[in-house]
Structure 1
Amino acid sequence: MRPGSHILGTMKYHRRWSSLSLAWLLFLGVFVFRQTWAVHHRHIGQLSAVGTTHSLLEVSAITFLDDVEVASYNKEHKQIIVKIPWISKALGDNYLTQMTDDLLLNQEQDLQGTIEFVACDDTNHNRNHTAQVLAECEIDNNITVKSQIHLIWDGVEYFKIDEEVGHWENINPKVKKYQPILESSFWTTLRKRYMKLYCVDLMRKVVEYSSIRDNVGPEVAVSQHVSTEGSIILSCIATGFYPRSILMHWEKNGKLRIWGNESSSGTLPNMDSTFYLKITLELSSEDSGAGYSCVVEHSELKTPAIYSVPGKPTMEKSWVLELGIVLTIILLLSCAGAFIIWKKRKTGQLERSFPSSTPPAPSSLQ
């Protein structure tokens, strides 16, 4: 290796990542120009590049706001595809053209250099490699609750950073040699600046303008049943709500405390991009289950909603299931027996209606 070549390579790496990060973070922020008054918002973007040490085959980018895809880009079309029509009108065609030319097309050389730098130890220079940058930030009540960057190489996450932690976590020890570069003052200053400006701050501008999608309040159902062991199980299900933030807890006679064994499904996505949450409370057999309520808080509810538990629990005893199985078997056997009897009677009627036509045997000659 020539003297100073490593330093030169590191400087080039800094430049490439700085220009790449600027382009990507601008791409993250520029397409979130509307607002939703919801409490919780999430902004996710991913930039992917596929190539070898001597050629760049594919570049693509995609960005989501509150789980809605808002824009994409790929090397083949060489233009930003806006998924929501009003965004083009809000930004203007000239701005989109300038962004495409200055911030995405001109980054292809830097992406190629990044792949070449990271794949320098690969003896097969024709092997395809994939480099990905995943950026994610979230705000809740206008407070930043999450700001992360993930660096992925050939489908494996190598580094990630959480702004609250403040330093890069090395996921794969094989590439630990790159950590000093990522933690340099140059990259640190750049990362903090653009994550704040183009992921968090622009998302705040979104919530001051308009909505990407409609907010929906939760549909809530409360029930109770008796388990096979005799304990009472209270269930509270909230579904179909958006945004994601929701609070649910149990109260008894208006008092909040731990009354039994509580569990939660966690907030899960539905197929229509709304969310679902189920909480349960298991009470001892001595507790009648009377006076309990499920309290739900969501941004679409003006005040916390209180849902009382039904008074009569449904029974889930094992003998109920066993009795159902026995009755089903009896019914099937009865049907089978009736069919056999009918079949036999039908066969007998046919034999009487059509006697045998075989002629009698001839008598013997005298």
Structure 2
Amino acid sequence: MSSDLPIRKIIHVDMDAFYASVAQMDNPDLKGKPIAVGGGGTRGVISAASYEARKFGVKSAMSGQLAKKLCPELIFVKSDFGRYKEISNKIRAIFFDYTDLVEPLSLDEAYLDVTQNKKGNPSASLIAEEIRNRIYNEVGLTASAGISINKFVAKVASDYNKPNGQKTVNPEEVLGFLEALDIRKFYGIGKVTAEKMYQKGIFTGKDLKSKTIEYLEQHFGKSGAYYYHIVRGVHNSQVKPNRIRKSLAAERTFSKNLSSEIFMLEKLEHIAEEVSKRLGKNSVAGKTVTLKIKYSDFTLQTRSKTLAYFFADKSVILETAKDLLYQEKLNNSVRLLGISLSNLNTEQNTKKTEEKKSVSVQLKFKF
């Protein structure tokens, strides 16, 4: 690895089956049992599954009916986002005892830059272990962690010894670690892209590394350059404590499938109103409306339109969503509609102020 690359001490902390684990912690009768958060009823979709349920193939975004077939003993519990946020705040308070450079990705995971930390501890691995122990002792939940030179490798590593484990990838180990990795384990390579890579004989990081940037851009578009760099351990994005929101959205799953656009207009109005309220609450506006359509066979389609100006008004959002709805014929009956607004005005200064500083650290880095 080139010595002029910025090398930091980054920890990615990821809670283990967070929503399901909170439910099991709050109700000891559920401990050790296969549970799913959400997914109840005939139309429900699972938002999280305990590890006991995952052994049967139950996973998030799966219909509750299918999950019940895979695991007849599955127990459904309701979501409690107020409780999740309460727990998440306690966990983040622990993070801030070690560094102010904390970038939450969601309620249950975050990046921490501990290159310089409040404890003066030179070992990121020991800090990660201490944080995980504190989360368990003070909150009652287990967490996994990945520790490495950048956010990408740390995130990949955090999944390596799940649940309740951690993985450190030292600077001199990064290239070997990535070369041996199945490309399905690369953060940013989804199921569809992985299948496409398999078809082209790319199964591991080593296979990916053998391809030129021109080849990857030809076959994978703009993402090709990203794949080219990450497999070489190059990912210079810094931990950003004030993470910029890139979109706001709302969606609805219907109790009965909708077969005509006419029946969807009223639903879209309610969704547009919710998006507009959220925009107002966050004092932001956007230019791009995206209509999300999930069909009865669970296939997903998105349609987008970008206007020349920023807006947050319900009427503009709704009219644009209607245009997108009528843009082309529906493929099937619809079980879910969603509207999101992106290209927000919060992003205007982001590109201009993108960090250009690199952390000057020697390659002999104690992790």
TM-score tier, shorter chain, comes to under 0.3
TM-score in terms of structure 2 length: 0.22
TM-score in terms of structure 1 length: 0.22
Structure having the higher Rg? 1
